Structure 1
Amino acid sequence: MTPPPTFLSCDWGTTAFRLRLVERDTLTIIAEESSKEGNAATAERWQQARQPPEQRVAFYLNIVRQHIQRLEAAAETALAGVPVVISGMASSTIGMAELPYKPLPFAVDGSDLLTKTIGPTADFPHPVLLISGVRSDDDVMRGEEVQLVGCGFENTPEEQLFLHPGTHAKHVTVQNGQATALKTYMTGEFFSLLSTKSILAASVEEGGKLAEGRHQQWFAKGVLDGQQANLLHNAFLVRTNDLFQKNSKPENYFYLSGLLIGSECHELLAHLPARIVLAGEAVLVDLYGAALRVLGIAHKCPVTTKTAQETTLHGQLAVLKQHLAALLTT
């Protein structure tokens, strides 16, 4: 069977859903749909529906189908038979079908990631490739492994680092074509809690860009202060900065961000990789790139930046190619 020239890329996280119609040869996005129908909200709806367990996959795929119908209208073409590649939390306990984690190491070309194929039906006329996550002895990730595959790491004995900023930032060591070690940092979640739920919430204010005013100066100060051992004390300085009117609330916002990102990156000073690939959402990539420069890390090893969209599409396509023949015969 001749493979269709397009595929449907589904990035289904805990809180967000994104579906793209993509040309396979060029990775050009033809049409795109997104919503807040993340796996957490979908799992709650599934529990409220009280359907039998064997209907769970169909329940989740019905959401995907509704978005595909909107893509068909936008692209003015029928998409029946076009394969759907799904990565993220859809393979977790809150997803459509729980898959076991692939134990480290895994090949950075995506050839040995754990997957599940789901054949087309009358209600959902698309073959589905569901990609599972990865685990170490004490850590896990789902979704970021696909982005790592999409980075195109060199097969070299030198240690390289995949750095993915986010709610739960990931640092993955890559060596000899294998991802060999994984560390998660709750940087984004801690920042959200401190800036919205703690006593510090009244001392910070979101707004503005890193390059504006004194934001970069206060961010850099936070990064450097974050090299000190006692983060718990440093965090309280956010309150006293405001109390003593040392800076503005937006400047304090960037100071707190610098504190946490600087603390996360502290270990890199003692164990520099040969190369860092920094991949994720643009705002976070800019902040982490600035932090790596402040710490002098970017001057000692090359840092390549990539977008989350770019790495997700490249990674999903790489895994799809490994399974395309089998997928189209399901």
Structure 2
Amino acid sequence: MHPALQGLMTIFIGVGGCVGYFYFSNQLLDKVLFPPRGPNAGRNINQANMIRPWLFLAPAMIALGLYLAYPVIETIRLSVTERIPGGGYKFVGLANYTQMLGEPKFWEALKNNFLWLIIVPAFSTAFGLLAAQLTDRIRWGNIAKSLIFMPMAISFVGAAVIWKLVYDTRPVDQDQIGVLNAIYLAFGGDEPQQWLTIPLWNSFFLMAVLIWIQTGFAMVILSAALRGIPEETIEAAIVDGANPMQVFFKIKAPQIIPTIVVVWTTITIVVLKVFDIVYAMTNGQWETQVLANYMYDKMFRANDWGVGSASAMVIMLLVTPILVWNVYSARKEMR
């Protein structure tokens, strides 16, 4: 079947199935189970209205159970078992976790993840806040915002390919197509550098890709928060003689701290799960390994599902507290 036709059929079946489900389930509820007639019409209508919201929630709950709850439970099971040659599993307790903790690559991945956690959320939020403040003060601010937000529309793999070209290295006797090497040689560098093979620095070059992507997200959220600041407080500060720097740091920034924290924690969750960029650019080589790529290597290259699942549990344990706190803060803001 032609891919375009297959896509159209998928859309038709998916949308049609959803419409059919909601239509026929409501018909079943109103015409068969709780018909609004007879002596119990009022009670039937009330009961139907109590059940109706669950008809809309049921597909989402089933999908969450199938694609979220079940994988978590299965990952926990795999992390405490070992595959037996020929089929089957045997319980090994915490042996997979012990093996994982004994591998230098795991500690390299954990160290790099913490380095990403320190650098990426801080710079993404700072650049996003700076862009939000500056674009609100210029005439063509909306165009600038569109350009800054544009990387958010690019997949992580696509962004990795773009930046890999930026870091590209050609032999000395050839023209450099990598922007970074071209700049390096223009300012007196002796020979092109293999930027992605330089330990520690290569991690910063990878982080630049995610910062470039997430700055647009931070800018949009923080720009909305800045626009929500009452003009009276800003005008009062200006009347009192405050300069633009004082207005920003002493009037605006304190009022949007909750939003800054939400943006920070959201980017932190993205960082903890980062995989595509590292996989596409270095594949974890040259001391750039991260937890998600380590998990992928163990599960799908080494075929060690036990240790791979154990590393997945580590990622989940790191993400869950931040996610719960983020949801709590968002709900607190809505009250």
What TM bracket, shorter-length normalisation? under 0.3
Which has the larger helix fraction?
2
* Greater RCO structure (CA 8 Å; 6+ sep): 2
Name whichever structure is richer in strand by fraction: 1
User: TM-score w.r.t. structure 2 length?
Assistant: 0.24
Which structure has the larger Rg? 2
